[in-house]
Each structure stands twice: as C-alpha cells, then as structure tokens.
Amino acid sequence: MSTAPVFLVESLAAAGPGGLLPLDGAEGRHAVSVRRLRVGEPIVLTDGRGAGALGTVAAVDGRERLEVAVAELRHEPPPLPSITVVQALPKGDRGELAVETMTETGVDRIIPWAAARCVTQWRGERGARALAKWRATAREAAKQSRRLRIPEIAEPLTTSEVAAVLADAAFAGVLHEAGAEPLASAELPAEGEIVLVVGPEGGVTPEELAAFEAAGARAHRLGPTILRTSTAGTAATALLLTRTGRWA
C-alpha cells in the first residue's frame, strides 16, 4: 500500500478477495487519463471510512474506467484517542494549507471556527465554496498520504458552539502563548476525543479564552516560538500522535 495510489469509491460492501471492482467517474478518469495506470499496476480503493481494497489493475476501459482485481481487504478501526482541531479561519489560502498538512499528519476531524479576530469570514455562497475547498483538500491529502480514513471537515461553528464541543471532550485545550503548561507535558487520555483550539492571526480574545476555560479547556503552549495559525494545528497533531502512541 505504501507505493500504490489510492482512489475513492462510494462503497466496498461488495468487495472480496479474488473479485473485480470497477473504478469509474471522476476517480476512474483520474486513474486512467492522469495517472495513466495500466494493467498489472498496484492500486488501492477506499471508501474513506476505514475500509480498503488492495489489488492490481485488471483491465482499462476507455479513458475513465478500469477494473481492479482485489487481492486483500483491509479495515482500519477508528483510532483512539481521536484528535480534533478547531481551526480559526485563516487569511487567503492558508486554510487549505492547514487542512492539507493536518490531514497528511493524521488529524481525525477539523472544525472551522469563526473567531472574533478572524479577518476572513464565511458567509453565504462564499462560505459554502470555502467549506467545499477544505473538504476537497482533505480528500486529496488523504489519498496522497495513503489514508483509508478521510478526516471529517465539520460545518463552521461559533464560539459558543465550540465551547460545547470542548465540554464533551476527554481532553480539551487551547493553543496559546500564555499557557502555563506545555502541551508536551499535559496528561492525555488513552481513549475518547482530544480537542485543541487554534486561534486566528490576531489571537484568541480574553472573552473567548474565558468561555473555553469555563468549558474545561485550559491554555497550553507548544514551545518558545509563535507558530502561524496555519501551521500550529499540524505541529500539535504531530505532538499528540507521538505522545498517545498512535505514531509508535
């Protein structure tokens, strides 16, 4: 699987070792016309929810369809603990950068957050397009990094809605340079959900910090340097994956 390209399918319910599975539509077109896969080359199909079919290309039909001979089925259970990053909306295309790198690193869920100091605001059709870009970015990054689970990109939340998510978490924290405790030494759960908040370029307001603290989220620092909002979530995810043993 480490070198085989990954493509998304709606379902693998009918898959079985020794059987054939079709790949068509946009994914089939990409496999045939862009990646130019040929008979005998390795390929992985996934439903993006943990199921994967590993095999080889058995036949190529036209410019947007091929058949895969399934050699092995694989299922990855939901990881524990799960890692959610509440990402304040960055400027420009830095949001897609944050989603891409967090997905490649191994985050499980990303929640867009309309923080008070966000320069960017998602409203109406513009917001719908931005959310669609984040979700498309997560899909492509998951395929590139050979993941069988695509992280969920949730609907954007307000500060009070984020506080409710934090209150339900097994561990909740806010990345903040004034945090008294390093995230590297925080006591983490073995299961459940870890939720971290990454603030905007202008920082988290005192009112937001107070709301999150009331929900059980303490302020934690990553290190002596100040990271951009588009990179802090990726650095924190890598730290958590190491500390929880998911990168063991």
Over residues 30-76, the pLDDT tens digits come to: 999 999 999 999 999 999 999 999 999 999 998 999 999 999 999 99
Whole-angstrom CA distances from 77 to 42, 82, 84, 139, 210 are 23, 11, 17, 19, 36
> pTM of the entire structure?
0.94
User: Is residue 15 located within the same domain as residue 128?
Assistant: no
Kindly report the backbone phi and psi dihedral angles of residue 206, in degrees, each rounded to the nearest multiple of 5, phi listed first.
Answer: -55, -35
The answer to the question of residue 139 being in a domain is: yes
Sign of CA dihedral 105, 129, 132, 169: positive
User: Is residue 129 located within the same domain as residue 228?
Assistant: yes
70-79, 128-137, 142-151, 221-230: range with lowest mean pLDDT = 221-230
Q: Provide the residue range defining the domain that includes 45.
A: 6-75
pLDDT number for residue 177 = 86
| pLDDT above 90: residue 144 | yes
The answer to the question of residue 1 being in a domain is: no
Encoding tokens for residue 11? 């379902």
User: Is 226:91 a contact under the CB 8 Å cutoff?
Assistant: no
The answer to the question of residue 31 being in a domain is: yes
pLDDT number for residue 211 = 98
User: Is residue 113 located within the same domain as residue 29?
Assistant: no
Whole-angstrom CA distances from 20 to 8, 42, 70, 74, 206 are 16, 14, 6, 16, 58
Kindly report the backbone phi and psi dihedral angles of residue 198, in degrees, each rounded to the nearest multiple of 5, phi listed first.
Answer: -110, 120
User: Is residue 93 located within the same domain as residue 71?
Assistant: no
Average pLDDT, the chain: 95
pLDDT number for residue 239 = 97
5-44 burial, b at 16+ Cβ within 10 Å, e below that, comes to: ebbbbeebeebeeeeebebbeebbbbbbeeeebeeeebbb
The Cβ of residue 212 has, within 10 Å, a number of other Cβ atoms equal to 25
User: Is residue 58 located within the same domain as residue 123?
Assistant: no
User: Is 20:111 a contact under the CB 8 Å cutoff?
Assistant: no
User: Is residue 87 located within the same domain as residue 198?
Assistant: yes
| Domain's final residue, options 26, 43, 75 | 75
Encoding tokens for residue 112? 């867009």
pLDDT number for residue 18 = 85
| Domain's final residue, options 47, 75, 103 | 75
Question: Of the candidates 85, 76, 86, 95, which has an alpha carbon nearest to the alpha carbon of residue 12?
Answer: 76
User: Is residue 180 located within the same domain as residue 95?
Assistant: yes
Q: How confident is the model at residue 224 (pLDDT cuts 50, 70, 90)?
A: confident
| Domain's final residue, options 75, 100, 119 | 75
Q: Which residue has the tokens 């994914």?
A: 27
Output the CA angle 167-211-125, nearest 5 degrees.
Answer: 85
User: Is residue 87 located within the same domain as residue 170?
Assistant: yes
pLDDT number for residue 14 = 80
Domains held by the chain: number: 2
Q: How confident is the model at residue 229 (pLDDT cuts 50, 70, 90)?
A: very high
The answer to the question of residue 165 being in a domain is: yes
CATH of the domain at 60: 2.40.240.20
pLDDT number for residue 164 = 98
The answer to the question of residue 158 being in a domain is: yes
User: Is 146:1 a contact under the CB 8 Å cutoff?
Assistant: yes
